[in-house]
Amino acid sequence: MLSRLPLQISDRLKYPVVLSVVGNVLMLVSFSFLGPLPFLPFLPTVPLIMAMCGLAGTGYALIMVASFGRAHRSAMEKGFADNIATSMTITGTEKSIAHHCH
């Protein structure tokens, strides 16, 4: 149920890139505490690591949802059919680029 929330938010936003920005901020915060940054006066603990991993996962999910939404919207504007074939093509392309670039 909760996993559909970012998708529904993305569909309602005029500029879904906002979700990408929020996702990147969440990733920045999580990795700042995981490191931690040299000026933070504490060491990472297991609960902190678990919380920051969850935060990083949420941030990554927001980025992926917003990216797919923008790609799908762009495909519809270019005249592609709004069907499963188009969605699978976008998903496959997005995933293959992500895995080959990392």
What does the pLDDT look like over 21-57, one tens digit per residue?
Answer: 999 999 999 999 888 788 888 888 899 999 999 999 9
Nearest Cα to Cα of residue 67 among 27, 30, 19, 33 = 19
91-99 average pLDDT score: 79
pLDDT digits (tens, 9 = 90+) for 58-88: 898 888 888 888 888 888 899 988 888 888 8
Element (H, E) at 30: helix 17-34
More confident residue, 70 or 3: 70
Q: Which domain holds residue 81?
A: 2-101
What are 27's two structure tokens? 């990733």
Report the predicted TM-score, pTM, of the whole model to 2 decimal places: 0.76
Angle between helices 17-34 and 5-12 (to 10 degrees): 140
User: Using an 8 Å Cβ cutoff, are 82 and 76 in contact?
Assistant: yes
Specify the number of domains making up the chain: 1
